[in-house]
Chain A
C-alpha cells in the first residue's frame, strides 16, 4: 500500500510539471499548428537563469530565507523566458507563417540547438547542483513520504493552471486567443490583433515553462544544459496524449504521463517477472502513448478533426 501511495505522489508531482510544460506546447499548437520544438529549451533556460540568481543570492546573503531566494530566482527567470519566447516567435516563426509546414519545424530545431549551445557556453557542460536553500522537510502520510518541495510543486502548478483557465475563459485576451485558434482569418476580421495574440501566447507559455524549469531542477536537485530536450519531449508527448491544442488535454496528459512513468518504474519489474527493469520506464510511457493514439487518433480529449481540403 505505501509503495502504491508513494508512486502516486511521485507521479502526480512529476506529472504536474509535465502538464505545465505541455500547456506551452498545446497553446502554441492550438493557435499556429506549430510544434514549438524550442519550448523544452526555454524551460531549461528558466532553470539555468533561476539557478544562477539563486546561487549568487545564496552567496551574497546567506541568511535569507529559502523561499525568498527561490522567489527571487523565479522573478528573474520568468521575464527572461518571456522575452526569449517573444524573440523566438518574432525571429524564427513569424516570417514563416505562410511557409510550407515543415519549415518552421526546422527553425524550431535550429533555435533549440542555438539555445542549448548558448547555455552550454555560459554555464558549462557539467551538471549544476541546486543550491541548498530549500526547506528539507518530509512528512509522512499513510506510510508514504512527501517532501516540502513536492507539496510546493503541487500547490504551485494547481494554482497556475487554475489561473490559466481563468485567463483563457474569462478575459478579453483569452477570448481573442480562442477566436484566433478557431480561425486566424475570421478573428482578424473581427478586429482581433492576431499578431499580438500569438505573441501573448508565446509569452504566457514561456512563463509557464520558466516556472516548470525551476520546479524540475528543484525537484531533482540539479540542472543541465541538455535537460530541456527530454523534458520537452515528454511534455510534448503528454500534450499529444491528451489531445494537442486542448488545454484540459495537456493537463490530463501531463498528469497521466507522470503517473504512468512512476507506476511503470515501480511495478514493471514485478509485472514482467524481473525481465524488464525500471530503466524501461520510458518505454512504458511511449508504449502507452502509441496505444492510446492508435485507438484514439486525436488524443484523449482532442476533438475529432474533420478533414479539410
Chain B
C-alpha cells in the first residue's frame, strides 16, 4: 500500500515540478511568444471547464458562453483602466466580474428553462450576439464601452507594488511578465480543475448528469431540475467571468471583436473534441485547439522544405488545416479524444 502511495507522491511531485519549469523550458525551446500562448491556453482551459459544466455535465447546449467571458472582461476594464479613471485592485474586481457573470448566467437561464436542445442553443446564441452588439454600440449616448475601438490601457494584475507586467528576479531566475502570468493562471486553473472534480463526484454533479441523461426521470426521482439547471448556468458563467477578467488584465486591451460567436464555437469544439464531461479530455481539447492553429503557422517552413518555395500563405492555410483536423478527429474519435468511460460505453451501445 505504502509503495503505491509513494509512487503517487512521486508522480505528483514530478508533475508539479514539470508545470513549474514549463514556461522556462518553452521559453528556451520555442521562444517568448510561446510562453504567452501557454498563458492563453490556460485561460482557455478555464473557459472550457466552465462551459463543460453547462454542456458536459448538465447537457445544456450553450452557444452564447462567450457573453460571460465578455462581461468579466468589461467589468475588469471598467474598474481598472483610464476609461472611467478607476483603478481598483484585481482581487476586488475579479470576484466582482465573476459574480456579475454568474448573475447574468441565472438571468439567461431563467427564461430558457423550458427550452430543449437546439432551441436552447439558438436562444443562448442570440443572447451572446445581443451582448456583443451592445458592447459594439454602447459608445453613445453615454460612452460605456468605447464601441468597436474597445478599451485600452487596462491595468495589469498588481499586488501592492508587485506588478505582474514587470520582470522580477528571484534566486537568479528572471521572471518576466508572461512567466508570472503563467503562475497566476496556473494557480487559478488548478483551482477551477479542483472545483470541477469535486463537483463531478458530488450530489450536484450526479444530479446534473441525471438531468442530462433524462430530465423527466431526474425530476421523478426528486431532483429539483429548475434550481440545478440554473446552478449549472451560474457556475459555468462564473468561470467564464473569471477568465474574462484575467483576459482583460493579460491583454491590456479588449474590444467586442474578441467575443464573437466563433469564440463560443471554438470553446464548444474544445470540449467535444477533447471528450465532453471528462476533465482530462476537456483540458486536452483546450490545450490542443489553442496551440494547434499556432503550430500550423509552421506550414510555411514545411512547404519550403518540401517544394522549395511557399505556395500558399501559411496564415491562410492554417485555418483550412484546422477545419480538416476538426472533421478528421470527429470522424475517427466521435466520442472525443479522451472520452470518459461512461461516454465510451454509451457510444459502444449506440453503435450496436
Residues in A lying within 8 Å of B, measured CB to CB: 29, 33, 35, 91-92, 95-96, 98-100, 102-107, 109-114, 116-118, 120-121, 233, 236-237, 240, 244, 275-277, 279-280, 282-283, 286-287, 289-290, 293-294, 297-299, 305, 307, 309
Please provide the chain B residues from 27 to 42 with a CB less than 8 Å away from any CB of chain A in the complex. none
0/1 per residue, B324-343, Cβ < 8 Å to A? 11110011001100000001
Are the CB atoms of B272 and A103 closer together than 8 Å?
Answer: yes
Are the CB atoms of A121 and B316 closer together than 8 Å?
Answer: yes
Are the CB atoms of A298 and B119 closer together than 8 Å?
Answer: yes
Within the assembled complex, what's the spacing in Å between the Cα atoms of A236 and B343? 29
**B320, B325, B327, B350: most-surrounded residue (chain A CB, <10 A):** B327
Within the assembled complex, what's the spacing in Å between the Cα atoms of A299 and B118? 11
Determine the chain A residues whose CB is within 8 A of the CB of B322 once the complex forms: 113
Within the assembled complex, what's the spacing in Å between the Cα atoms of A236 and B121? 11
Candidates A92, A102, A244, A293; contact of B123 at CB < 8 Å:
A293
Q: List 10 A-B contacts (CB under 8 A).
A: A96-B330, A102-B61, A102-B276, A106-B268, A106-B326, A112-B323, A240-B122, A279-B137, A287-B130, A309-B216
Asked if B111 is an interface residue, CB under 8 A from chain A, the answer is yes
Candidates B55, B215, B323, B334; contact of A117 at CB < 8 Å:
B323
Are the CB atoms of B335 and A117 closer together than 8 Å?
Answer: no
Within the assembled complex, what's the spacing in Å between the Cα atoms of A304 and B106? 26
Are the CB atoms of B272 and A275 closer together than 8 Å?
Answer: no
**A98, A120, A277: most-surrounded residue (chain B CB, <10 A):** A98
Within the assembled complex, what's the spacing in Å between the Cα atoms of A279 and B265? 24
Within the assembled complex, what's the spacing in Å between the Cα atoms of A276 and B138? 9
Using CB atoms, name the residue of chain A closest to B332: A95
Determine the chain B residues whose CB is within 8 A of the CB of A116 once the complex forms: 319, 323
Determine the chain A residues whose CB is within 8 A of the CB of B330 once the complex forms: 96, 99, 103-104, 106-107, 110
Are the CB atoms of B119 and A240 closer together than 8 Å?
Answer: yes
Determine the chain B residues whose CB is within 8 A of the CB of A92 once the complex forms: 327, 331
Within the assembled complex, what's the spacing in Å between the Cα atoms of A69 and B252? 52
CB A212 to nearest CB in B, in angstroms, measures 20
Which range holds the interface residue count of chain B? 35 or more
Asked if B308 is an interface residue, CB under 8 A from chain A, the answer is no
Known: A92-B327, A106-B273, A110-B323. A309 touches B122 (CB 8 A): no
Determine the chain B residues whose CB is within 8 A of the CB of A110 once the complex forms: 323-327, 330
Determine the chain B residues whose CB is within 8 A of the CB of A279 once the complex forms: 133, 136-137
Are the CB atoms of B111 and A294 closer together than 8 Å?
Answer: yes
Known: A96-B334, A105-B272. A299 touches B119 (CB 8 A): yes
Determine the chain B residues whose CB is within 8 A of the CB of A109 once the complex forms: 265, 269, 326
Are the CB atoms of B323 and A99 closer together than 8 Å?
Answer: no
Candidates A35, A113, A121, A286; contact of B121 at CB < 8 Å:
A35
0/1 per residue, B110-126, Cβ < 8 Å to A? 01101110110111011
Using CB atoms, name the residue of chain B closest to A243: B119
0/1 per residue, B249-272, Cβ < 8 Å to A? 000000000000100010011001
Are the CB atoms of B133 and A283 closer together than 8 Å?
Answer: yes
Determine the chain B residues whose CB is within 8 A of the CB of A103 once the complex forms: 272, 330, 334-335
CB A93 to nearest CB in B, in angstroms, measures 10
CB A105 to nearest CB in B, in angstroms, measures 7
Within the assembled complex, what's the spacing in Å between the Cα atoms of A82 and B133? 35
Asked if B134 is an interface residue, CB under 8 A from chain A, the answer is yes
Within the assembled complex, what's the spacing in Å between the Cα atoms of A143 and B331? 56
Determine the chain B residues whose CB is within 8 A of the CB of A283 once the complex forms: 129-130, 133-134
Are the CB atoms of A277 and B334 closer together than 8 Å?
Answer: no
Using CB atoms, name the residue of chain B closest to A121: B316
0/1 per residue, B304-323, Cβ < 8 Å to A? 00000000100011011011
Asked if B84 is an interface residue, CB under 8 A from chain A, the answer is no
Asked if B347 is an interface residue, CB under 8 A from chain A, the answer is yes
Query: Ordered nearest first, which 7 A-B pairs have the shortest CB separation?
Result: A110-B326, A113-B323, A99-B334, A286-B126, A114-B323, A117-B320, A110-B327
Are the CB atoms of B127 and A100 closer together than 8 Å?
Answer: no
Are the CB atoms of A100 and B216 closer together than 8 Å?
Answer: no
Are the CB atoms of B335 and A100 closer together than 8 Å?
Answer: yes
Determine the chain A residues whose CB is within 8 A of the CB of B317 once the complex forms: 117, 121
Are the CB atoms of B316 and A297 closer together than 8 Å?
Answer: no
Determine the chain A residues whose CB is within 8 A of the CB of B121 once the complex forms: 35
Asked if B294 is an interface residue, CB under 8 A from chain A, the answer is no
Within the assembled complex, what's the spacing in Å between the Cα atoms of A112 and B115? 26
Using CB atoms, name the residue of chain A closest to B216: A307
Asked if B203 is an interface residue, CB under 8 A from chain A, the answer is no
Using CB atoms, name the residue of chain A closest to B215: A307
Using CB atoms, name the residue of chain A closest to B325: A110
CB A5 to nearest CB in B, in angstroms, measures 28
Within the assembled complex, what's the spacing in Å between the Cα atoms of A68 and B269? 44
Determine the chain B residues whose CB is within 8 A of the CB of A297 once the complex forms: 114-116, 119
Known: A106-B326, A107-B330, A117-B319. A286 touches B269 (CB 8 A): no
Are the CB atoms of B133 and A293 closer together than 8 Å?
Answer: no
Are the CB atoms of B276 and A280 closer together than 8 Å?
Answer: no
Determine the chain B residues whose CB is within 8 A of the CB of A95 once the complex forms: 331
Determine the chain B residues whose CB is within 8 A of the CB of A289 once the complex forms: 122-123, 126
Determine the chain A residues whose CB is within 8 A of the CB of B326 once the complex forms: 106-107, 109-110, 113
Asked if B6 is an interface residue, CB under 8 A from chain A, the answer is no
Within the assembled complex, what's the spacing in Å between the Cα atoms of A275 and B269? 37
Known: A114-B323, A237-B122, A307-B216. A280 touches B137 (CB 8 A): yes
Asked if B214 is an interface residue, CB under 8 A from chain A, the answer is yes
Using CB atoms, name the residue of chain B closest to A125: B316
Asked if B346 is an interface residue, CB under 8 A from chain A, the answer is yes
Using CB atoms, name the residue of chain B closest to A305: B116
Asked if B217 is an interface residue, CB under 8 A from chain A, the answer is yes
CB B113 to nearest CB in A, in angstroms, measures 10
Determine the chain A residues whose CB is within 8 A of the CB of B324 once the complex forms: 110, 114
Within the assembled complex, what's the spacing in Å between the Cα atoms of A29 and B121? 14
Determine the chain B residues whose CB is within 8 A of the CB of A33 once the complex forms: 118
Are the CB atoms of B114 and A111 closer together than 8 Å?
Answer: no
Candidates A111, A244, A293, A309; contact of B323 at CB < 8 Å:
A111
Q: 16 extra interchain contacts, Cβ-Cβ under 8 A, other than A91-B327, A95-B331?
A: A92-B327, A92-B331, A99-B347, A103-B272, A103-B334, A106-B268, A110-B324, A111-B323, A113-B320, A116-B319, A121-B320, A244-B118, A244-B119, A283-B134, A294-B115, A297-B116
